[in-house]
Amino acid sequence: MITEAYRHKVLIEVGRNGLGFSPRLFSGWWFSVAAALPVLFFFVLFGFGKSSFHESLQVAWVFAELPLVSAALLGFTMGAAILDPKRVRHPWQAGLRGILVAALSYPLFMATWLLPGTLGLATKGTSEAQPEFSAVLMMFLLGAIFVGWVIVLAGFAAGVLLFALAQREAFRARVAGSGEVDPSLAITYCLLALVVLLANCLAPFLFGFL
């Protein structure tokens, strides 16, 4: 069955190494810090513009908070494998996984941006929603063109540096070597992280911030 095949694939990618909570949490934080570099570059390139406090808050939530949380989720779920010596044994492997985390965090960020607007279609007409989707698509293309290379470089650097950090005995003893857990528990960690991401992107819609 397709569902069984998909479940098996998820088990392999997310839960096979059974990494505990501490290394996953550190990896999520690490990649969110790395994501701050392209976020800062974006604001240097495009700026906030002249806007009210409420509009500035919207911009900060969309173009700063959401990308950082998206990178943290993928760092928590996928990037943590860099801390597993059985899966990542060379710096170039860590760099490639870092690029993968960074590259996937970009469309994930766009998806989290679209989700509140999609849920808000019940209160908006199709004619009002169309410009919003067009704006997101345009921003996706502009971001990929002007900031995409920074995202790739930041992801590569984050992966290589995290791998180098994992080679330190003190770090392995305190974080990376905190012990393995059952794969089903590791998957539970990742599902909870996904719930946190969804709650984060829906909070402005639910509480009327946007």
The whole-number pLDDT of residue 116 equals 65
Per-residue pLDDT at 175 = 76
**Hey, how many other C-beta atoms are within 10 angstroms of the C-beta on 114?**
16
The burial of 89, by beta-carbon neighbours within 10 Å (0-12 exposed, 13-18 middle, 19 or more buried), is given as exposed
- Of 148 and 190, more confident: 148
Is residue 22 within 8 A of residue 30, CB to CB? The reply is no
Mean pLDDT of the chain: 79
Q: Does the pLDDT of residue 155 top 60, yes or no? A: yes
pLDDT (average), residues 68-80:
92
Residue 207: its pLDDT value, please? 60
Per mean pLDDT, which range of 48-52, 73-77, 112-116 is the poorest?
48-52
Residue 132 vs residue 126, higher pLDDT: 132
Q: What percent of the chain has pLDDT over 70?
A: 73
Indicate whether 204 pLDDT > 70.
no
Which secondary-structure segment (H or E) carries 11? none
Torsion angle of the four alpha carbons 57, 147, 115, 78, in this order, in degrees rounded to the nearest 10: -110
- How many domains does the structure of the chain reveal? 1
Q: Nearest 5°: phi and psi at 209? A: -75, -30
> What is the predicted pLDDT for the residue at 122?
45
Q: Are 162 and 82 a contacting pair, CB within 8 Å?
A: yes
Range of the domain at 40: 2-207
Residue 47's pLDDT band, with cuts at 50, 70 and 90, is: confident
- Split at pLDDT 50, 70, 90, the class of 11 is very low
CB 20 within 8 A of CB 178: yes
Predicted structure pTM score: 0.79
